[in-house]
């Protein structure tokens, strides 16, 4: 009578990306990660600098 509320994920439900598209996306994500890591490092250094000023 009642339907189960848990749904199983469907594999290969949508269109697949070509290898070229995946490589482009991978390159974009690597670039984005590198920038985020650089920003993190800059903020870490700024935090250390301002922490020293407050002592």
The predicted pLDDT at position 55 comes to: 78
Report if residue 32 sits inside a domain: yes
Reported as half-sphere exposure (CB side, CA atoms, 13 A), residue 55 has a value of 6
Report if residue 10 sits inside a domain: no
Report if residue 23 sits inside a domain: yes
| Number of domains making up the chain | 1
User: Going by C-beta distance under 8 Å and a sequence separation of 6 or more, which residues neighbour residue 17?
Assistant: 25
Report if residue 36 sits inside a domain: yes
* Contact in structure between 25 and 17 (CB atoms under 8 Å): yes
Rounded-to-integer distance, Cα 28 and Cα 17, Å = 15
pLDDT in tens, 9-55: 666 666 788 999 999 999 999 999 999 999 999 999 999 999 999 97
Report if residue 8 sits inside a domain: no
- Whether residue 2 is predicted with pLDDT greater than 70 in this model: the reply is no
Report if residue 1 sits inside a domain: no
Whole domain around residue 50: which residue ranges?
Answer: 19-55
């Amino acid at each position: 009578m009642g339907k189960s509320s848990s749904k199983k994920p469907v594999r290969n439900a949508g269109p697949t990306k070509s290898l070229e598209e995946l490589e482009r996306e991978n390159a974009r994500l690597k670039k984005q990660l590198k920038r985020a890591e650089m920003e993190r490092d800059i903020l870490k250094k700024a935090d250390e600098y301002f922490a020293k000023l407050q002592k």
